[in-house]
Amino acid sequence: MLTRPERNEYSDFHADYVARVPDGNVIEILEKQLKELQAFLRTLSEEQAEKAPAPGKWSVKQVIGHLCDGERVLAYRAMRIARGDQTPLAGYEQDDYVRESNASQRALADLVAEHEAVRRSTIALFKGFPPQAWLRRGTANNAELSVRALAYITAGHEQRHLELMKNHLSVASR
């Protein structure tokens, strides 16, 4: 069940994330993304990673911290639902998490290493799901989601932020 989820497996809020992911085996897509994001981040200087694109916007360091936190939340939701847990899961306030993450004060290399560890953990979790788990559904942040959709949301979320970071840095270098 590593294929694209049906439209009724995720909320309208998540539709853009799912749409950003190409067709195919989502675990292979997550592995490819890991390499792509890591390669991109290794081209950046500390100064580039610390500069926010505008007041109130996140720096690259903050985005990487957000990706780590967001992926942990999504993987936790996927694990709970895959295991048959029907307890509704709460949402989280991403801006509060970014503010409290201390990502701005950390070395870019540390954030890159953390991202890699989080993604490898997510991939290992997803690889361990039995086929029947992928279609299980649960509620997170008041939205019904399937495990399969959560895998695609994970990939789409990272894809969106990678595109935004690349765009920000290309505009900044002009």
Q: Residue 164, Cα to own-chain centre: how many angstroms?
A: 13
Handedness of CA 64, 67, 73, 76 (dihedral sign): negative
Q: Is residue 30 within 8 Å of residue 154, measured between CB atoms?
A: yes
| CB within 8 Å of 131: residues ≥ 6 apart | 1
What is the extent of the structural domain holding 141? Answer: 7-172
pLDDT of residue 168: 85
Classify residue 2: in a domain, yes or no: no
pLDDT of residue 118: 98
Classify residue 144: in a domain, yes or no: yes
Number of domains in the chain: 1
Classify residue 167: in a domain, yes or no: yes
- Ranges of the chain whose pLDDT falls below 50: none
Classify residue 129: in a domain, yes or no: yes
DSSP H or E run through 64: helix 60-82
pLDDT of residue 2: 78
CATH of the domain at 20: 1.20.120.450
Model pLDDT for residues 89-136, shown as the tens digit of each residue: 999 999 999 999 999 999 999 999 999 999 999 999 999 999 999 999
pLDDT of residue 169: 83
Classify residue 166: in a domain, yes or no: yes
The three-state secondary structure class of 140 is strand
Classify residue 21: in a domain, yes or no: yes
Classify residue 1: in a domain, yes or no: no
How far, in Å, CA of 77 to CA of 63, rounded? 21
